[in-house]
Amino acid sequence: MAADPNLNGLLKWSIQNSSASQESADPNAPAPEPSRGIKPEMLSALFGGPSDADLMKAAMAALHSDEVDLENKLVAFDNFEQLVEGIDNANNMEPLGLWTPLVQLLKHEETDMRRMAAWCIGTAVQNNEKAQDRLLVLNTFPALVSIATSDSAPATRKKAIYAISSAVRNYQPAMDDLVKNLPEGYPTDKVDAGDMDAVDVILNKLKAHPSA
């Protein structure tokens, strides 16, 4: 996924300079030169006011880039999650083509990447029927259920359950699809997505599911 190289450069500069300032423990050390490494094109991108859409696309490009290390990918993920807290940004994910690359990250080899992908999904779909529907179109529940029941990292399993909870509450099509993808021993009859107690029964069972 292509992103504005100027915004990417500005993001990289921001991260590097922020890290450098935090790592400097010498109070007598000279102040960093704030302009070093900034190109005019980066300033233009900054003062032009990058939109949330630009920032979301840049973050997703970083998440799929082989040139970005895990630490900075997690920073990009954190920024993305904060952006999609807004329903307008969450609904903008589809026209921006961001749903598919986000869901793909549920199968990333790094558990922290799977955890953050699930977290972002849960945030984007919470109380958002339009976003909840995207998970059905992309057949996301098999991956979320697999993570919730078998991931080796408890924190990652927790975020997958959070994503499932956000996806199915008060949205019957998603609940019906979830039930079809639950492991043996879970409810197989129709579960009312508006019945919070019934929803919690499934979620609590997922939380107690023995890890692989």
How does residue 50 score in pLDDT terms, banded at 50, 70 and 90?
confident
Nearest to 114 by CA among 73, 57, 79: 73
**pLDDT at position 187:** 84
Prediction pTM value:
0.77
For the stretch 102-133, pLDDT in tens is 999 999 999 999 999 999 999 999 999 999 99
Rounded CA gap, 135 and 11, in Å?
30
Longest Cα separation, the chain = 69
Q: Where does CATH 1.25.10.10 sit in the chain? A: 52-208
3-state secondary structure 122-161: HHHHCCCHHHHHHHHHCCCHHHHHHHHHHCCCHHHHHHHH
Q: Say which residues have a Cβ less than 8 Å from residue 194's Cβ, sequence separation at least 6.
A: 170, 172
Question: Which percentage of the chain shows pLDDT scores above 70?
Answer: 76
The amino acid occupying position 78 is D
Alpha helices, DSSP H, located in the chain: 5-23, 40-47, 52-63, 70-83, 87-92, 99-104, 111-125, 129-137, 141-150, 154-168, 172-181, 196-208
Two tokens, residue 148: 């919730």
Rounded CA gap, 212 and 208, in Å?
12
Residue 136 CA: distances (Å) to CA of 143, 151, 195: 12, 22, 20
- What's the CATH code, domain 52-208? 1.25.10.10
Buried residues in 8-21 as b, exposed as e (16+ CB within 10 A): bbbbbbeeebeeee
Q: Say which residues have a Cβ less than 8 Å from residue 155's Cβ, sequence separation at least 6.
A: 115
Residue 38 has pLDDT above 50, yes or no: no
Nearest to 124 by CA among 112, 138, 110, 107: 138
Instruction: Name the DSSP class of 1.
Output: -
For the stretch 13-23, pLDDT in tens is 556 655 444 45
Nearest to 15 by CA among 60, 83, 65, 79: 79
For the stretch 153-169, pLDDT in tens is 999 999 999 999 999 99
Question: Which percentage of the chain shows pLDDT scores above 90?
Answer: 72
